[in-house]
Amino acid sequence: MNRQANLRKSRGASTIVLMLVLAFFVILPLGLLGFEITRSFLIQQELRNITDSAALSGTAAMASAPEKDALGNIIPYSTRQQVAMTTALQTFQFNSILQTPFTASNVSATYNVLPPVPQTPPLHNAILNILLLDQSGTQVTTGTPAATMTVQSYYTDAPIFVSKILPIQSQFTLTATSNGGLPQLDVILCLDVSGSMDDQTPVTFVNRYWDVQVSPIGQKMVYHIPTSSTGKLGSNDTIFNILNPAVTGTSLNIYPPQNLENATYQGAGANQNGFTWSETPNAVGPAFTFSNLVGLRSNTSYPAGPATMPEQGMPPGNYQFPNTTVNRTSPATGLVLNPTSQDGIGGFTDLVIQMPSYPTSVSYNSQTYIFDSYATEVEAARGNMESLVVLKAACGNTVPAQIAQAPRAGYFGAYMTYVLQNASPIAVARDSAYNFFNTMNISSNAHFGLVCFSTSTGTSTSSVLSDTNDNISKAYPAGGIGIFPNPLVKISKTNSQAQQFSDVTTGIEGTSPYTPPSIYSSTVNPLRAEGSTDISESLAEALNELAMPGSPLVRPTAKRAIVLFTDGVSNRPLPSAGSDALALAQGDAAKIAGVPVYTIGLSQNPAILASQNSLLGDSMASNGIAYRSANNAIYISVTTASKLDQAFQTIARSLCAIQ
């Protein structure tokens, strides 16, 4: 019995020893190995999350990078992309993995090295390869437009226990790759170019005539700022504030087509609160007929100027005899040679932009032109500052006392360039629209479309405004004929992104932006203000392209979106009372099609704000176009043109997502 008992004790002890051996040499290592594997998976996941954050922040930085610096100089793509890659690195450095906090001392990066080299960083260090790829996934050189960002991360860690027990590596390097950028995006911009889009431009109304009431030796040119019948001075304010039209704005423009006859508006009651252009057809006011002003703009019996400056060399209409001092009345029109009655009725012959101060320097074709008075602007806009001979021919063989600068070639282009760059808000709207497309282009796989709208939408890239092609007025052939674009750039499934970006930006800025006198040629010209506002037609065109069943224009896997910008509310098609309802119905159609309509409303006139919020809004209370279209569309209301670029960039960022 004792022998058997001892044997059982011996076997029991052996089992315990065996269990201890198994626990120490098998179960414990396996448990620790499981711990290390779980820990490595956790490190891998955290590395992935941090890499995602770096790629997303770098992409966002690329998407929001300004095109120009504070001085207006173009910032190269390469510089913007370098800043974006630095942003991605810094985002990574602000994070940590388990017990390892990251800083600039243990995280470094290579910026778009061709080809990328796999990295093996030291223990508890990370190295990033930040790459720029085209839409097909091929690495491209820094500075290439339309590049997307990819971040490859490499991080080295070490096991805590297992390497001391088992013969495995003492360190291991994990890697993660994240692609930043927008998803596939097919986007169409509906851009308002109606006549009110320059109503916030500061202007000066000018009555230009030949004064014959002084002695023959003292006869001279007069540039008179008129006052309306209600006492409104025709200067020192914007088109809108001077004319006080309805909230939908005016069809009078600072840049051709000027439509100068539209300066007459009715204010409260029967009081006329406008100005009367000298060539206004059948102009009759409350107490005056204006027959004494007809013909005053130019004496058209003089030879016409070149096509670019058709009134060049023409004196005022009441200057009949350049070689005599005899005072006469025009036998052709009965025009009184000294039109003193323009005071009190707001009579004017010219409308020019008001510069911030006089003199103002304007750069054009690498030269500087000085505008020392609104008289200089009037003569430059007519082409009379191109030479001394032309100026004297247009001004009664004299040089007006108000013009101190020597005439020289280029003044016409300098003036037109200044107006094109400073008409408000159309100039800022053009720049903001360009920047929006540029943001999409440099940071996304995007295809683009552009629908410009005023009285109607265009039908092709070469469409022009259908209701006028006269520079000054339909009633004034002497003003010449120009080309005023209203382009439609259809989105395309087959055209390259680079081609579509070129098409939409050319539609906005023209082939030679800010280079008059292309306004008189078939050259593609920059957009400017003209016509009424037909929002429903523009949205219908955009939806027809994006939402038609089996559309041949859009990519089936692309996210679709419409961006609508307007400075007013609908007043077309007629009757205007129902035009807003038609526009809202397009919001309903967009929801059914799954296409969000992002809206931007510019309301520099406070009186239109409520109507605009109701038409464009994204809340249940407003029930506007953005709300009706659903699909996360947003509405941005801005009250100053300077905020437009920020509004467009906000929408660009709202479309941004990591791939």
- pLDDT band with cut points at 50, 70 and 90 for residue 95: very high
**Among the ranges 269-278, 373-382, 428-437, 613-622, which has the highest mean pLDDT value?**
373-382
CATH at residue 649: 3.40.50.410
Instruction: Give me 344's structure tokens.
Output: 């009190």
- pLDDT band with cut points at 50, 70 and 90 for residue 284: very low
Query: Is the confidence at residue 607, as pLDDT, over 90?
Result: no
CA 283 to chain centre: 38
Give pLDDT tens digits for 613-631.
999 999 999 999 999 999 9
According to the model, what pLDDT value does residue 474 have? 84
Instruction: Give the count of domains, the chain.
Output: 3
Residue 175 sits in the same domain as residue 221: no
The mean pLDDT value of the chain amounts to: 83
Is residue 34 assigned to a domain? no
Residue 305 sits in the same domain as residue 434: no
> Are the beta carbons of 621 and 628 closer than 8 angstroms?
no
Is residue 258 assigned to a domain? yes
Query: Is the confidence at residue 359, as pLDDT, over 80?
Result: yes
According to the model, what pLDDT value does residue 518 have? 56
Is residue 31 assigned to a domain? no
Whose structure tokens read 């098609």? Answer: 573
Residue 397 sits in the same domain as residue 453: no
Residue 351's nearest CA partner among 258, 483, 257 is: 258
**Mean pLDDT (whole number) for 647-656:** 80
According to the model, what pLDDT value does residue 377 have? 98
Give pLDDT tens digits for 441-471.
876 788 999 999 998 898 888 888 765 568 8
User: Would you state the torsion angle of the CA atoms of residues 528, 467, 571, 582, taken in this order, to the nearest 10 degrees?
Assistant: -110
Residue 316 sits in the same domain as residue 362: yes
Residue 312's nearest CA partner among 322, 320, 302, 326 is: 302
Q: What predicted TM-score, i.e. pTM, was given to this entire model?
A: 0.77
Instruction: Give me 553's structure tokens.
Output: 């224009």
According to the model, what pLDDT value does residue 576 have? 65
Is residue 478 assigned to a domain? no
According to the model, what pLDDT value does residue 116 have? 92
Residue 75 sits in the same domain as residue 117: yes
Query: Is the confidence at residue 325, as pLDDT, over 50?
Result: no
Give pLDDT tens digits for 5-51.
555 556 556 666 556 655 555 565 656 566 777 888 999 999 999 99
Give the residue with greater pLDDT, 83 vs 289.
83
Residue 560's nearest CA partner among 549, 546, 542 is: 546
According to the model, what pLDDT value does residue 449 have? 96
Residue 267 sits in the same domain as residue 370: yes
Give the structural domain span for 242. Answer: 203-420
**Mean pLDDT (whole number) for 77-98:** 92
Residue 162 sits in the same domain as residue 212: no
Residue 69 sits in the same domain as residue 144: yes
Give pLDDT tens digits for 367-406.
999 999 999 999 999 999 999 999 999 998 889 999 999 9
In this structure, what DSSP letter does residue 585 have?
Answer: H
> Are the beta carbons of 654 and 63 closer than 8 angstroms?
no
Q: Find the distance separating the first CA and the last CA of the chain, reported in whole Å.
A: 78
Cβ burial of 363 (10 Å; 0-12, 13-18, 19+) is exposed
According to the model, what pLDDT value does residue 382 have? 96
- Percentage of the chain lying above the pLDDT 90 cut: 45
User: 348-362, 447-461, 501-515 — which is least confidently predicted?
Assistant: 501-515
> Are the beta carbons of 495 and 517 closer than 8 angstroms?
no
Please, which residues have CB within 8 angstroms of residue 141's CB and are 6 or more apart in sequence?
112, 114, 132
3-state secondary structure (DSSP) of residue 214: coil
Is residue 394 assigned to a domain? yes
Residue 60 sits in the same domain as residue 127: yes
C-alpha–C-alpha distance, residues 251 and 245, integer Å:
10
* Residue at a domain's end among 420, 443, 467: 420
Residue 276 sits in the same domain as residue 399: yes
Residue 126 sits in the same domain as residue 260: no
In this structure, what DSSP letter does residue 261 have?
Answer: G
Is residue 15 assigned to a domain? no
> Are the beta carbons of 130 and 112 closer than 8 angstroms?
yes
Is residue 468 assigned to a domain? no
- Percentage of the chain lying above the pLDDT 70 cut: 80
According to the model, what pLDDT value does residue 500 have? 92
According to the model, what pLDDT value does residue 285 have? 45
Is residue 6 assigned to a domain? no
According to the model, what pLDDT value does residue 649 have? 85
According to the model, what pLDDT value does residue 568 have? 82
Please, which residues have CB within 8 angstroms of residue 247's CB and are 6 or more apart in sequence?
568, 605, 607, 608, 611
Query: Is the confidence at residue 338, as pLDDT, over 70?
Result: no
According to the model, what pLDDT value does residue 445 have? 80
Instruction: Give me 206's structure tokens.
Output: 């000018």
C-alpha–C-alpha distance, residues 520 and 305, integer Å:
13
Residue 342 sits in the same domain as residue 446: no
